[in-house]
Amino acid sequence: MPVVFDRVSFAYHTPADQRKAKKGLVARIRERRTEVAGADSDAPQSEDPRATGQERTRPAWGVSAHDEWALRDVSFTLADGEFLGLAGHTGSGKSTLIQHMNGLLSPTEGRVTVDGRDLADKAAARDCRGFVGVVFQYPERQLFAETVLDDVAFGPKNLGLSDAEARERAEEALRSVDLRPEDIGGKSPFALSGGMQRRAALAGVIAMHPRVLVLDEPAAGLDPQAREELLRLIARLHASGMSVLMASHNMDDLARLCDRVMVLNRGRILMEGPPAVVFSQGDRLRAIGLDAPFAQNMAVRLRSRGLSVSDRLHSIQSLADELADLHRQAQRHESARSGEGAGDTAHA
Ligand SMILES: Nc1ncnc2c1ncn2[C@@H]1O[C@H](COP(=O)(O)OP(=O)(O)OP(=O)(O)O)[C@@H](O)[C@H]1O
Ligand SMILES: [Mg+2]
């Protein structure tokens, strides 16, 4: 069930939105300016700016900072079984992209297909919600039912399953996130710890039996132990056959878990490839305000202090290997020098 983005661009405020938002003088002035900008767009200088290499950050009808493209010309495929990471500075478009994965948002230009079906088709978008499970940021804020079991069974019931079937799915989903339905199923979701609430919310998505799991900053705000548990869980769900798209601010998590990483910058794909390739380019990441993985930062610091480690490291393992090599070299050098020293003494 591949998910394909084909030259997707998206702006939150289209001219239609602006008309809807027509309230008071400011809106009327903006609308007038939009018309003027629209008239200008017939002028030769406002032809497709991509052709002249002078791409604007705003759509042709955009007049203010609020009209900027949140996504611009985004094309990629999430292949079956793949674990794709999504990195990018605040406001780069990660959450906007994620909401296109199951048709919650529709492209202003371009298209998104799931298993070949265009999500612009309402029936396709509805069907795809059964296969593409989206876990939004802080999903525990959407827990609402009186008991954990009712909350997790809510989705399956909406799929039309009987109470007994929905309950069975909910129990299975809770176990898959390491929560025991017999212990916590009857409790209020709000009685659980933060980490457990997050996992219960994830169970609500898993109970729908998605084949594609989409996660927006799944570990944000959790304590170190809860985040480790959650990330291990996500790796396990991926190993069980789900394709995963995960947005994260944590480059180390992405470097560790993903098959491939995409870096968004101001709505565009800036870099894309295996973590070893993307994360070894610390300078490019830092240039757009992103942090590089720990190993990459450490390598840069060590180089600045005169150690000749590679500046293209991205994993703790590769850093450890290089340091071990350096250590061996230093030992050889040292023993050669002390050998020479011993020789000098003998001569004297
Ligand atoms: N509901 C909205 N209405 C208008 N503009 C929005 C809305 N949501 C996001 N934007 C704008 O769209 C752009 C992309 O935002 P988005 O939330 O997708 O980024 P993000 O990469 O998820 O950021 P973060 O890392 O902070 O979660 C930003 O310029 C943001 O201000
Ligand atoms: Mg976001």
**In terms of domains, do 154 and 250 share one?**
yes
Structure tokens at 203: 């169970």
> Is 53 part of a structural domain of the chain?
no
Give the model confidence (pLDDT) of 233-250 as tens digits.
999 999 999 999 999 999
Of the listed ligands, the closest to the CA of 13 is 1
Check if the beta carbon of residue 274 is closer than 8 Å to that of residue 261.
yes
**In terms of domains, do 160 and 196 share one?**
yes
**In terms of domains, do 327 and 237 share one?**
no
Q: How far apart are CA 218 and CA 292, in angstroms?
A: 19
Give the C-alpha distances (Å, rounded to integers) separating 181 from 151, 233, 277, 296, 303: 12, 17, 42, 42, 52
Q: What is the domain count for the chain?
A: 2
Q: Which of 242, 275, 308 is the last residue of a domain?
A: 275
pLDDT attached to residue 339: 79
**In terms of domains, do 184 and 318 share one?**
no
**In terms of domains, do 70 and 168 share one?**
yes
Residues facing residue 113 across a β-bridge: 4, 118
**In terms of domains, do 226 and 164 share one?**
yes
> Is 99 part of a structural domain of the chain?
yes
Q: How far apart are CA 256 and CA 252, in angstroms?
A: 6
**In terms of domains, do 214 and 147 share one?**
yes
Which domain CATH number covers 233?
A: 3.40.50.300
**In terms of domains, do 262 and 304 share one?**
no
> Is 284 part of a structural domain of the chain?
no
> Exposed, middle or buried, 23 (CB in 10 Å: 0-12/13-18/19+)?
exposed
Q: How far is the CA of 26 from the centre of ligand 2 (A)?
A: 28
Q: How far is the CA of 319 from the centre of ligand 2 (A)?
A: 30
By residue range, what is the domain housing residue 24? 3-38+65-275
Q: How far is the CA of 93 from the centre of ligand 1 (A)?
A: 6
> Is 46 part of a structural domain of the chain?
no
Give the model confidence (pLDDT) of 274-299 as tens digits.
988 898 888 899 899 898 888 888 88
Ligand 1 pocket: which of 95, 137, 264 to mutate (most atoms within 8 A of CB): 95
Atom nearest to 93 CA in ligand 1:
18
**In terms of domains, do 311 and 267 share one?**
no
Ligand 1 pocket: which of 96, 99, 138 to mutate (most atoms within 8 A of CB): 96
Q: How far apart are CA 202 and CA 174, in angstroms?
A: 9
**In terms of domains, do 221 and 304 share one?**
no
Query: Coil, strand, or helix at residue 210?
Result: coil
**In terms of domains, do 132 and 258 share one?**
yes
Within 6 A (CB) of ligand 1 lie 12, 70, 88, 90-96
**In terms of domains, do 270 and 333 share one?**
no
> Is 139 part of a structural domain of the chain?
yes
Number of neighbouring beta carbons within 10 Å of residue 240: 8
Ramachandran angles phi, psi of 276, nearest 5°: -60, -35
Give the model confidence (pLDDT) of 20-50 as tens digits.
655 555 555 555 555 555 544 443 343 333 3
Of the listed ligands, the closest to the CA of 57 is 1
Q: How far is the CA of 91 from the centre of ligand 1 (A)?
A: 5
Q: How far apart are CA 161 and CA 150, in angstroms?
A: 13
Q: Which of 275, 308, 323 is the last residue of a domain?
A: 275
DSSP letters for 38-85: HHHTTSGGGS-HHHHT---SS-TT--SGGGSEEEEEEEEEE-TT-EEE
Q: How far is the CA of 146 from the centre of ligand 2 (A)?
A: 29
> Is 115 part of a structural domain of the chain?
yes
Which pLDDT tens digits describe the chain residue by residue (348 residues)? Answer: 899 999 999 999 776 766 665 555 555 555 555 555 554 444 334 333 333 344 446 776 666 655 689 999 999 999 999 999 999 999 999 999 999 999 999 999 999 999 999 999 999 998 898 899 999 999 999 999 999 999 999 999 998 999 999 999 999 999 999 999 999 999 999 999 999 999 999 999 999 999 999 999 999 999 999 999 999 999 999 999 999 999 999 999 999 899 999 999 999 999 999 988 898 888 899 899 898 888 888 888 888 888 888 877 777 888 888 889 889 988 998 888 887 765 554 443
> Is 281 part of a structural domain of the chain?
no
> Is 69 part of a structural domain of the chain?
yes
